[in-house]
Amino acid sequence: MFRLLRPTFRHGGLIVLGGFAFALAGCLGGISAFSYNSSSPLGWVGVAALLVGLVVMLVGGLLLVIATFKKIFGKPDGTS
């Protein structure tokens, strides 16, 4: 059970890529909404999605840093 709660490179990489995809979609949605109608509130939804995607990318980056430090400084578990 607790083995699933430890971040690995795969977890961090997937979260970074998912955050990037979310941020890209939000950015493109915001740009398209603002270019169509500059006073549209839907453009701000795209900007919010961009910011949420960037936060998710930062969380994924933090997980990658944790996994790196775990790999460098962690105790050997006996598996190769």
Kindly report, residue by residue over 13-69, the tens digit of the pLDDT: 999 999 999 999 988 888 888 888 878 787 888 888 899 999 999 999 999 998 888
- The C-alpha atoms of residue 27 and residue 21 are separated, in whole angstroms, by 10
> Between 42-73 and 9-36, two packed helices, what is the crossing angle to 10 degrees?
160
Tokens describing residue 1: 């059970």
Q: Which tops the pLDDT comparison, 52 or 80?
A: 52
Which pLDDT score is estimated for 5? 66
Amino acid 29 reads G
Buried b (16+ CB within 10 A) or exposed e, 24-42: eebbebbeebbeeeeeeee
Task: Please tell me the pTM assigned to this model.
Answer: 0.78
Tokens describing residue 35: 């270019």
Mean pLDDT of 69-74: 85
pLDDT(1) > 60: no
